[in-house]
A and B are shown apart, each in its own frame.
Chain A
């Protein structure tokens, strides 16, 4: 059974600081996703990482994927209050041709709080 582990689960940061969220998964996966969720809201797609060594950046967030280590990181640079949210990583496994069986398995999420 695929397991996805995130750490830390809680992260309190000061504005302007850098930090990294880690996402480990237990079996071979073909894709890794990062989502952001504000309290009581939907999941907003941040990044889709498709291959080993993939790196994507958007604003103060940068995500990378190491499929050999089964590890993805979400790096936050110079945090600002607006980044406060819960961040989830998720992976897909298995699947038939045609992309018809690619359910997401999520980590527990990292609750990020950015303090002034």
Chain B
């Protein structure tokens, strides 16, 4: 157990629907990062939150949004789902400061859009 908890582990939904993925960071970590992993695009950074504030955006579609709550857990909302959104979605967390610990990844949510 890495300490980063993601739920659900698997999600199957239909095109056009909306889903919410949840991430609880490792205890003490203030930053949460969302990544999408697909066969064609590899691991792509989506968005980062730090202590409740958005800090960086990557290749995140307008149909996708995220937030980080006061208890530091984060949710990634995916709407108007398309077949191409099927992927593994990872959450990672890190400490606030520049230590050598690095980034800890959760076990991921496998999203299948049918």
Contact = CB atoms under 8 A, between A and B. Distances in A.
The answer to whether A binds B is yes
Contact of A43 (B48, B55, B90, B98): B90
Interface in B40-77: 42-43, 45, 48, 50-51, 55-56, 58
Interface of A is mostly: loop
A43 B91 CA distance: 10
Given A98-B96, A100-B96, A103-B56, A45 B45 contact: no
A87 interface: no
A44 B2 CA distance: 9
Contacts, number: 67
Contacts of B110: 40
B104 A103 contact: no
Contact of A106 (B43, B96, B101, B102): B43
Interface of A: 33, 35, 40-45, 48, 50, 88, 90, 95, 98-109
